[in-house]
Amino acid sequence: MGVLNVGIIGGGQLGSLLCEAAKKIGINTVVYSDDIDSPAKFFTKEFIHGNYADEEKILNFCSKVNFVTYEFENIPFKTLNNIKKLKKVSPDPEILKIVQNRLLEKEFLNKINLKTTLFKEINSKKDLFDNSNLLPGFLKTCRFGYDGKGQYFINNISEIEELDIKFENKYILEKKVNLKKEVSVIISRYGKNEYSLYDPIENFHKDQILRTSIIPAEISQKNKEDALNFARLISEKLKYIGTMCVEFFIDSSDNLYINEIAPRVHNSGHLTLNSYNVSQFENHIRAVCGKEKIELKKLNNSKMINLIGDDILLYRSKKFNKNEFFYDYKKKVIKPKRKMGHFTKVIL
């Protein structure tokens, strides 16, 4: 077989970093995105601009690649299923169907005996009043949320009346956890009981957007083992192929809950580029292209900072030490809450 081509749907920074990882191991990339200004344009071998429902363009995209993967969650299920008839798509679209919906995701987790926050499906204000035992809590859209978008924090019953929501989409209400820490586990699964598992990473958010990630997470040995085991169990149950992230909450009594699953490479795993011999991106490309797994070795601890909005300007003119790594996503426009790049400092 000649050079492999991997198709990536979605053209954001995760796509760009997947392209770089593919290039490193001699695999060509074709990125398909509905955004003409996708930053991944600057990193991929080939770029196709098209709507995710444009069957003809999707067909053309498929004809150019051997394998297909995706870098964000909100791709129409139908599109992925059509692609699946032609090319191997990883992770399988059926998995996306579960995890792109907060309700199905939590039901799946509870079914395999993993603890999530307490939640209820909500379709009206009446449902909110009926489930006020879950307050204070977060009302979240079941689908299409990220970086805290589509979320409303509700303190008490008196705030329900004031909510300006039409309930056109499905929602869930989640009881607020008294957060001590947030951690994530990145796992890349190649097949049955064959995976690379990264140590838990500790995450710090501001305004519900990830700001800083640190490896190793400072958590108890028990929570560390549980978090790793749960990530492994989830990936096995889903028969997952590629890299995924499991986000956890730890409350003030040290209880561990699963917050959500991201069926893709994840922002908190960016530091794996500098802390491990194989990054989450390279592992993802290897797994979805059926390449062999390389034994994972940790090289260094590190800290990653997201550069949001104007933060990027300072870094573009900065000088860096040998243990400092700056990634510019090359986005066309700087916007206040937009992730523009990241910076990782390896602790030697």
For residues 1 and 62, is the Cβ–Cβ distance under 8 A?
A: no
Q: Does 105 bind ligand ADP (CB under 6 A)?
A: no
- Token readout for 242 is 């590629």
Where does this chain touch ligand ADP (CB under 6 A) — which range of 64-72, 141-149, 213-221, 287-295? 141-149
Please report, as a single letter, which amino acid is at residue 39.
Answer: P
From 77, 144, 146, 167, residue interacting with ligand ADP (rule: CB under 6 A):
146
Which of 65, 250 has the CB closer to ligand ADP? 250
Residue of 67, 108, 138, 240 that binds ligand ADP (CB under 6 A): 138
- Cα dihedral 254, 260, 262, 266 sign: negative
* Using rule CB under 6 A, residue 148 touches ligand ADP: yes
**Pure H helices in 100-151:** 102-111, 125-130
Tell me the closest approach of the beta carbon of residue 262 to ligand ADP, in angstroms.
8
Query: Which residue number, 91 or 145, has a Cβ lying nearer to ligand ADP?
Result: 145
Nearest Cα residue to 237 out of 265, 268, 278, 195: 195
If you count DSSP H runs as helices and E runs as strands, how many of each does the chain have, helices first? 10, 18
Q: In the structure encoding, which two tokens stand for residue 335, read together?
A: 């916007």
Half-sphere exposure of 252 (CA within 13 A, CB side): 3
Instruction: Give me the least distance between CB of 201 and ligand ADP, in Å please.
Output: 13
CB of 72 to ligand ADP, least distance (A): 12
Cα-based distances in Å from 260 to 22, 312, 323: 27, 28, 32
**CB-count burial class (<10 Å; 0-12, 13-18, 19+) for 17:** buried
| Count, residues in the chain | 348
- Per-residue string for binding with ligand ADP, 151-190, x by CB under 6 A? -----------------------x-xx-x--x--------
Determine the angle formed by the axes of helices 280-288 and 13-24, rounding to 10 degrees.
Answer: 70
Question: Judged by CB under 6 A, how many residues of this single chain contact ligand ADP?
Answer: 16
Of the pair 62, 250, the CB lying nearest ligand ADP is at 250
The residue among 5 and 101 lying less far from ligand ADP, judged by its C-beta, is: 101
3-state secondary structure of 29: strand
Torsions phi, psi for 89 (to 5 deg): -110, 125
Binding residue for ligand ADP (CB under 6 A) from 15, 39, 91, 145? 145
Q: Which CB sits closer to ligand ADP, 38 or 259?
A: 259
CB of 140 to ligand ADP, least distance (A): 6
Tell me which residues in 226-255 interact with ligand ADP (CB under 6 A): 247
Q: Which of residues 202 and 247 has its CB atom nearest to ligand ADP in the complex?
A: 247
Among 60, 208, 212, 300, binds ligand ADP (CB under 6 A): 208
274 by DSSP, 3-state: which?
A: helix
> Of 33, 69, 131, 259, which lies in the binding site for ligand ADP, with binding defined by CB under 6 A?
259
The residue sitting closest to ligand ADP, measured at its beta carbon, is 177
**79 and 18 in contact (C-beta within 8 Å)?**
no
Give the footprint of ligand ADP on residues 111-130 (CB under 6 A): 117
Q: Are 347 and 303 in contact (CB under 8 A)?
A: yes
Nearer to ligand ADP by Cβ, of 138 and 329: the residue is: 138
By the rule CB under 6 A, 73 interacts with ligand ADP = no
For residue 93, give every residue at least 6 positions away whose Cβ sits within 8 Å of its Cβ, in sequence order, or none. 77, 80, 81, 84
**Chain residues in the site for ligand ADP (CB under 6 A):** 117, 138, 145-148, 174, 176-177, 179, 182, 205, 208, 247, 259-260
